[in-house]
């Protein structure tokens, strides 16, 4: 196919793909008086945007959701990369006996659908007092991030020559020191990549929030958005759209800035 | 200890034989792998076993589960709601293979080797970073009765095409697959793009010299060479469509009634809305068996290739 033809098809499809984004922006920016009077396809400036965002932020409990989720999606993956890296280090550098078996034990957990875990997590969380707590949410988000972190870090450490480890051993360094001072600093790029991918995953999570939290102070942001949407009647469509816009900005910006990381992560089958 | 080990190594010019680190490090190895194994065992494998057990019980969340054998599975397969949910799930799997995967391949082929390919792909990639819930919010707004789509159709004189998009089955499932396509097609294009780039140039050139071009070239050369990546994309798409929860929850909550429920939603509702834990667990086990079988498709490849980074 000629290049010009290809470009024409791509531009047409691309415009079609941007239409929902346009609709979201145009209508999140309408005041209550404008919405329903002006066609949804027509943009009328940004008069209502700030007010709609503010309404979603306060009345929709998005503000508390953002605070909780920011905490979850920083601490969760942060702990997970360390736990995953430690496991990878044990298997690759310390040559753990039956290392591959242990690796499969950790990694195979990723194939389980969340549905298989929800019920016991709910019951267990209620029994142990972790239900509807930020600690409980951090714990569960950390754990679901560990298998992928272990997977990537094990692969990454395989690429570090074992002589590095042996040389450090000859210098009398302890395993902990070698891990903390040599292997972790050498693998910053991989650690950051895993962190970004898992942070996005956690930011966008609905199901765990729905199952393991109930109060505004612990509920993650997507669960709050979902609640805002289903109670609309109380909140207008522009408010709901503004809420959707608000919670999408962080991940979209992160994605555009670190697209290469996502490309690599995708090829690893994370999403 | 380390010095005595080092001495012979210095004397032999050949590379030191690969050996396990000393005794102390072997203990450290166990300590290092322990946290990962422990948390995964406690919060993933233990729940897995527990759910499997609960699927053999009658349990409403209160009191003690009562063992009933395979009764819940029998009940599940006799349940009209489950069967409709199973049909919807199947529709999601097939629809996902046709739309986001098919379109992704088309986009990858269209942008391959094109100047400024990044910019042409960008509109398709943008929705990927948006969460399932936010995608659901946008598309509910577009597809609701009298929404943006109906308005656009009427404006261009196609008012007769206006449908109850989210209210009639199986149309509601089909339009939600459309929303998922909007979200996911760009990513598949990206993956196929990587695949196209990694195809060696020589066989393609040779085929071109032999007179193959266009569709023939794609069918006989490119497509077979793309197979390893296609396996991964297809495997991911199947698993993703089986797990799809967020978009459906945000758009219809499985309704009206149960008409757009999939297994992922039916499990959630049976458990946390109807408090039939046994049935919910049976559905979860069924969903897991199907998902794990599909995962094997692409995982075999990933695990067999430790340098996949």
Question: pLDDT by residue for chain B (309 residues), tens digit each?
Answer: 333 333 333 333 444 444 555 667 888 999 999 999 999 999 999 999 999 999 999 998 888 999 999 999 999 999 999 999 999 999 999 999 999 999 999 999 999 888 888 889 899 999 988 999 999 999 999 999 888 999 999 999 998 899 999 999 899 999 999 999 999 999 899 889 888 888 888 888 888 888 877 788 888 888 888 888 888 889 889 999 999 999 999 999 998 999 999 999 999 999 999 999 999 999 999 999 999 988 887 777 666 544 443
> CB contact, 8 Å: B23 with chain A?
no
Helix, coil or strand: residue A207: helix
Query: Could you state, in order of their start, the residue ranges of all structural domains in chain A?
Result: 55-267
Q: Is there a domain that residue B170 lies in?
A: yes
Q: Which of B230, B287, B298 is nearest to B89 (CA)?
A: B287
Judge whether B67 lies within some domain: no
List the single residue in B107, B133, B264 with the smallest CB-CB distance to A226. B133
Residue B304: predicted pLDDT: 57
Task: With H, G, I as helix, E, B as strand and everything else as coil, classify residue B57.
Answer: strand
- Find which of A231, A269, A270 to mutate to test the B interface (most B CBs within 10 Å of its CB): A269
Which backbone phi and psi does A270 adopt, to 5 degrees?
-80, -35
Cβ contacts of B7 on chain A, cutoff 8 Å:
none
Residue B95's domain comprises 80-303
Among B21, B36, B82, the strongest candidate for a mutation testing the A interface, having the largest count of A CBs within 10 A, is B36
Cβ-Cβ pairs closer than 8 A, A with B, add up to: 310
Q: Each residue of B70-108: pLDDT tens digit?
A: 999 999 999 999 999 999 999 999 999 999 999 999 999
Q: Mean pLDDT across the stretch A229-233? A: 69
Distance CA B109, CA B105 (A): 6
Kindly state the tokens that stand for A170: 């000859």
Q: Tell me the backbone φ, ψ of residue B115, rounded to 5 degrees.
A: -70, 135
The answer to whether the Cβ–Cβ distance between A124 and B28 falls below 8 Å is no
pLDDT at residue B13, as a whole number: 41
- Helical segments of chain B, H only: 2-11, 23-40, 46-54, 71-78, 80-96, 102-111, 117-125, 132-143, 148-155, 171-198, 201-209, 214-217, 223-243, 246-251, 263-272, 277-303
Residues of B with CB below 8 A from A106's CB?
36-37, 40
Q: How many other C-beta atoms are found inside a 10 Å radius of the C-beta of residue A253? A: 11
A270–chain B Cβ distance below 8 A for any pair: no
Contacts of A190 (CB under 8 A, 6+ apart): A152, A153, A156, B309
Query: What DSSP designation does B58 have?
Result: E
Sign of CA dihedral B124, B125, B130, B132: positive
Q: Is residue B144 part of a domain?
A: yes
> Which among A143, A264, A267 has the least Cβ separation from residue B44?
A143
Give CATH superfamily name and number for A55-267: MetI-like (1.10.3720.10)
Distance separating alpha carbons of residues A243 and A234, to the nearest angstrom: 14
- Six token digits for residue B56: 């053999």
A250 vs A200, A211, B27, B87, CA distance in Å? 9, 24, 43, 36
Query: Within an 8 Å CB–CB cutoff, is residue A29 touching chain B?
Result: no
Determine the residue of chain A that is closest to B55 in CA distance. A116
Identify which of A223, A253, A217, A197 has the alpha carbon closest to the alpha carbon of residue A77: A197
Which residues of B are less than 8 Å from A121 in CB distance? 43, 47
User: Within a domain: residue B54?
Assistant: no
- Specify the pTM: 0.89
Q: Mutation test of the interface with chain A: which of B30, B35, B42, B44, choosing the one with the most A Cβ atoms within 10 A?
A: B44
pLDDT of residue A118 exceeding 70 = yes
CB distance B39–A7 less than 8 Å?
no
Mutate which of A116, A154, A193 to test chain B, going by most B C-beta atoms within 10 A? A116
| Distance of alpha carbon B204 from alpha carbon B218, whole angstroms | 9
Structurally, how many domains does chain B consist of? Answer: 1
Whether A181 contacts chain B with CB within 8 A = no
Cβ atoms of residues A114 and A207 within 8 Å: yes
For residues A152-157, give the mean pLDDT.
92
Q: B291 touching A, CB under 8 A?
A: yes
The answer to whether A10 faces chain B, any CB pair under 8 Å, is yes
Axis crossing angle, helix A49-59 with helix A3-28, rounded to the nearest 10: 70
Question: By the CB < 8 Å criterion, does B211 face chain A?
Answer: no
Pair of tokens at residue B70: 């395979």
For residue B301, the model assigns a pLDDT of 66
Q: Do A89 and B32 touch (CB under 8 A)?
A: yes
Chain A interface test: which of B63, B134, B217, B226 (most A C-beta within 10 Å): B134
* Chain centroid, CA B309 distance in Å: 19
B67 membership: H or E segment, kind and range: strand B66-67
Q: What is the pLDDT of residue B285?
A: 97
**Chain A contact for B134, CB < 8 A?**
yes
Q: Which residues of chain A does B263 touch, with a Cβ-Cβ cutoff of 8 Å?
A: 115
Checking phi first, is residue B146 left (phi over 0); if not, alpha (psi -120 to 50) or beta?
Answer: left
A61 phi and psi, to 5 degrees? Answer: 60, 20
Within a domain: B52: no
Q: Dump pLDDT digits (tens) for A243-267.
A: 999 999 999 999 888 887 777 766 6
Instruction: Please tell me the predicted confidence (pLDDT) of residue B200.
Output: 84
Residue B111 lies in a domain: yes
Residues of A in contact with B127 (CB under 8 A): 17, 20-21
Q: Which residues does chain B have within 8 Å of residue A258's beta carbon, measured at their own beta carbons?
A: none
Instruction: Label residue B152 exposed, middle or buried (CB < 10 Å: 0-12, 13-18, 19+).
Output: middle
Range from A91-95, A125-129, B207-211 carrying the lowest mean pLDDT: B207-211
Whether omega before A125 lies within 30 degrees of 0, making that bond cis, reads no
B204 belongs to a structural domain:
yes
- The whole-number pLDDT of residue B3 equals 35
Chain A positions in Cβ-Cβ contact with residue B240 (cut-off 8 Å): 271
Which positions ≥6 away from B308 have C-beta within 8 Å?
A155, A267, A268, B302
SS3 state of residue A254 = helix
Mapping DSSP to helix (H, G, I), strand (E, B) and coil, where does residue A85 land?
helix
Closest Cα in chain B, distance from residue A17 (Å): 6
B53-63 as b/e: b if 16+ CB within 10 A: ebbbbbbeeee
As beta bridge partners, residue B142 has none
Contacts of A89 in chain B (CB under 8 A): 32
Buried b (16+ CB within 10 A) or exposed e, B251-284: bbbbbeebbbbbbbbbbbbbbbeeebbbbbbbbb
Minimal CA–CA distance to A65: which of A151, A158, A134? A134
Residues of chain A numbered 38-77 and touching chain B (CB < 8 Å) = 39-41
Mean pLDDT estimate for chain A: 91
Rounded Cα distance, B36 and A145, in Å? 10
Give CA–CA dist B299/B284, Å, rounded. 21
CB-CB under 8 Å, B308 with A109: no
Q: Which of A39, A155, A207 sits opposite B151 (nearest CB)?
A: A39
Query: Could you report the per-residue pLDDT of A23-49, keeping only the tens digit for each?
Result: 999 999 998 888 888 888 988 888 889
**Which DSSP state fits B97?**
I
From chain B, pick out residues whose CB is under 8 angstroms from the CB of A104: 303
């Amino acid at each position: 196919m000629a290049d010009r033809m290809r470009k024409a098809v791509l531009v047409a499809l691309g415009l079609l793909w941007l239409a929902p984004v346009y609709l979201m922006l145009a209508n999140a920016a309408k005041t209550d008086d404008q919405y329903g009077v002006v066609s949804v396809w027509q943009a009328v400036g940004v008069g209502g945007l700030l007010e709609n965002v503010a309404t979603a932020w306060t009345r929709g409990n998005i503000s508390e959701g953002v605070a909780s989720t920011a905490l979850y999606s920083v601490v969760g993956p942060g702990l997970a990369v360390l736990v995953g890296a430690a496991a990878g280090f044990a298997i690759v550098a310390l040559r753990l006996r039956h290392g591959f078996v242990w690796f499969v034990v950790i990694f195979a957990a990723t194939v389980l659908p969340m549905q298989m875990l929800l019920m016991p997590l709910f019951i267990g969380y209620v029994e142990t007092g972790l239900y509807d707590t930020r600690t409980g949410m951090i714990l569960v988000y950390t754990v679901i991030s560990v298998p992928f972190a272990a997977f990537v870090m094990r692969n990454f450490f395989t690429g570090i020559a074992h002589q590095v480890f042996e040389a450090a051993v000859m210098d009398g360094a302890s395993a902990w020191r070698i891990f903390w001072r040599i292997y972790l600093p050498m693998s910053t790029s991989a650690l950051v990549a895993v962190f970004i991918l898992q942070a996005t995953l956690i930011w966008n999570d609905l199901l765990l929030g729905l199952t393991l939290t109930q109060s505004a102070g612990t509920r993650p942001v997507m669960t709050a958005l979902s609640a805002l949407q289903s109670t609309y009647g109380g909140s207008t469509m522009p408010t709901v759209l503004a809420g959707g816009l608000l919670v999408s900005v962080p991940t979209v910006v992160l994605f555009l800035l670190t697209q290469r990381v996502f490309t690599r992560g995708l090829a690893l089958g994370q999403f | 200890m380390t010095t005595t080990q080092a001495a012979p190594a210095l004397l032999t010019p050949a590379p030191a034989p690969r050996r396990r680190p000393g005794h102390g490090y072997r203990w450290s190895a166990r300590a290092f792998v322990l946290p990962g194994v422990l948390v995964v065992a406690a919060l993933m494998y233990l729940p897995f076993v527990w759910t499997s057990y609960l699927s053999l019980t009658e349990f409403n969340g209160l009191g003690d589960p009562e063992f009933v054998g395979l009764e819940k599975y029998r009940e599940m397969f006799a349940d009209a709601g489950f069967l409709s949910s199973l049909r919807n799930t199947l529709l999601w799997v097939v629809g996902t293979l046709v739309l986001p995967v098919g379109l992704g391949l088309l986009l990858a082929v269209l942008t391959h080797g094109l100047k400024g390919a990044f910019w042409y792909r960008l509109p398709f990639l943008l929705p990927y970073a948006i969460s399932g819930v936010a995608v659901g919010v946008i598309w509910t707004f577009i597809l609701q009765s009298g929404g943006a789509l109906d308005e656009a159709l009427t404006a261009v004189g196609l008012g007769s095409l206006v449908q109850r998009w989210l209210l009639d089955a199986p149309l509601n499932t089909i339009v939600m697959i459309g929303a998922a396509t909007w979200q996911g097609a760009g990513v598949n294009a990206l993956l196929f793009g990587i695949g196209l780039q990694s195809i060696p140039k020589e066989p393609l050139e040779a085929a071109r010299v032999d007179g193959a071009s266009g569709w023939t070239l794609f069918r006989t050369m490119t497509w077979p060479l793309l197979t390893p990546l296609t396996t991964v994309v297809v495997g991911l798409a199947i698993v993703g469509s089986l797990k799809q929860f967020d978009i459906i929850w945000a758009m219809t909550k499985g309704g009206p009634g149960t008409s757009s429920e999939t297994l992922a939603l039916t499990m959630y509702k049976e458990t946390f809305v109807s408090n039939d834990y046994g049935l919910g667990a049976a559905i979860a086990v069924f969903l897991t068996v199907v998902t794990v079988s599909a995962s094997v498709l692409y995982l075999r490849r990933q695990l067999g290739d430790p340098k996949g980074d």
